[in-house]
Amino acid sequence: MEYFYSIVRFIQNGGIFMYPIMITLAIGLAIALERYLYLGVIKRRNKVAWEHIHPLMLQGKVKSTLEYVRGSDAHISKVLVYTLTHLVSGRKVDEVEKMLEEGLVEIIPQLEKRTHFLGTFANIATLLGLLGTILGLIAAFSAVANADPAEKANLLSSSISVAMNTTAFGLITAIPLLLLHSFISTKTNEIVDSMDIVTVKLNNLININKNANNGLTEIDEVTKQQVTLQP
């Protein structure tokens, strides 16, 4: 309880700029929590979706894969549905890689949404702390100028101590927000990298299926020629 009262006194002594810094901290923590939970859900959904998609594509079941991704909420499914739809409709296999890249480009902004605000709020908190300290020092020196000479030293030291509270609180707010920004950005990059790997694997599977189909077609043509040449 005493620790709680110390925090309250620290905030009260800091002046009016402590409150916008507190609001900045609250908004930043809310964004970080929302992004953490969101990215966690996306990662799990992508993992489950790929566990269904990979076996189907290994077997060359493109239509079955398309049916699955159309009913899936995973981001990787949103990337693949565009590609597989055009592939089933008869588009060239050579264009698959470009279509996968287009689908991935559309998804990345959703993953990075609001993350940059964490860095912005960290800078805002630091600047608010400095501004509060500067204004506090200006007020302190103005008050000391009209004070009794015997009390000037004590009054100045106490005023400076109070003014420094805003800088301290600004840094206390900014450091965790910067760490959270780095953490969320890393987590986002991991998901993007995993989706990039999946698109490469899918492109390879499609090309493998294409080559296999071409091989079967060539075998059928050779067989027909042999049958035709038989007396």
pLDDT digits (tens, 9 = 90+) for 147-196: 666 666 666 666 677 778 888 899 999 999 999 999 999 999 998 888 88
pLDDT of residue 172: 92
- Within 8 A by CB and 6+ apart from 87, the residues are 62, 93, 96, 206
pLDDT of residue 119: 92
Question: Residues 137-145: what's their mean pLDDT?
Answer: 74
Confidence class for position 90, pLDDT limits 50, 70, 90: low
Q: Which among 120, 127, 113, 112 is positioned nearest to 178, based on CA atoms? A: 120
Say what angle helices 18-58 and 2-14 make with each other, to 10 degrees: 110
pLDDT of residue 210: 62
Of all residues in the chain, the percent with pLDDT exceeding 90 is 26
- Within 8 A by CB and 6+ apart from 203, the residues are 96, 97, 100
pLDDT of residue 151: 67
pLDDT of residue 27: 95
pLDDT of residue 222: 32
Query: Do 73 and 52 touch, CB atoms closer than 8 A?
Result: no
Residue 39 has pLDDT above 50, yes or no: yes
User: What does the block give as tokens for 180?
Assistant: 């959270």
User: What does the block give as tokens for 137?
Assistant: 């020092």
Residue 164, CB-side half-sphere exposure with 13 Å CA sphere = 6
